[in-house]
Amino acid sequence: MDVGRRLVTVVMAMLIVAGSARAGQPEGAELLDSVLAFVDGQIIMRSDVRAFSELGLVAPPATADADERVLTSLIERQLVLAEVERYVVDDPTAAEVTARFSEVVERVGGTSFFESLLPLVGLERSDVFQIVRDDLRIELYLAGRFPSSDVRSDLVDEWIASLIARADVLRVGP
């Protein structure tokens, strides 16, 4: 299927889903979750943006529109992770994953608060471990692909822009 047909199919599916979701909503009902983007067949939901924000799994946005920045980060993360999956990348050690997981727990306010936050963002401990593991794999991949230099950040940004240009990314909303 060519890109144009695929895009039309995705848009039509979204309109049908959006219309049927709204048709059954009583007046004043609040939508709890929604699709924000399609990235090469993967879906990014509003709940993903909220979870990554609440758990501090993405750098705090410097812009006024925090959700938009987090969504952009998740789109970029998905594309980079797909590249990592295409190549053989060493897994981080269990100690590295545990240490990074502990940093996440401390950043949100300690174990007790972290545990109480998980059900609110729809994640389990194992989900956060997997996110941390994937983040470390991304870091290992980028370190191998873009050796340390003064222009590394610019090179990574250009590379990610090229991934976005080649990918099938459809933003539905912030």
Judge whether 10 lies within some domain.
no
Give the pLDDT score at 174.
56
Could you tell me the pTM of the whole model? Answer: 0.79
Give the pLDDT score at 32.
75
Instruction: State the CB neighbour count (10 A cutoff) for residue 38.
Output: 21
Judge whether 140 lies within some domain.
yes
Judge whether 100 lies within some domain.
yes
Boundaries of domain holding 78? 32-171
Give the pLDDT score at 149.
75
Number of domains, the chain: 1
Judge whether 4 lies within some domain.
no
Judge whether 53 lies within some domain.
yes
Give the pLDDT score at 151.
77
Give the pLDDT score at 172.
87
For the chain, residues with pLDDT lower than 50 are 1-3, 5, 8-9, 12-13, 16, 20
Give the pLDDT score at 8.
44
| CATH number of the domain residue 80 falls in | 1.10.4030.10
Judge whether 114 lies within some domain.
yes
Give the pLDDT score at 66.
86
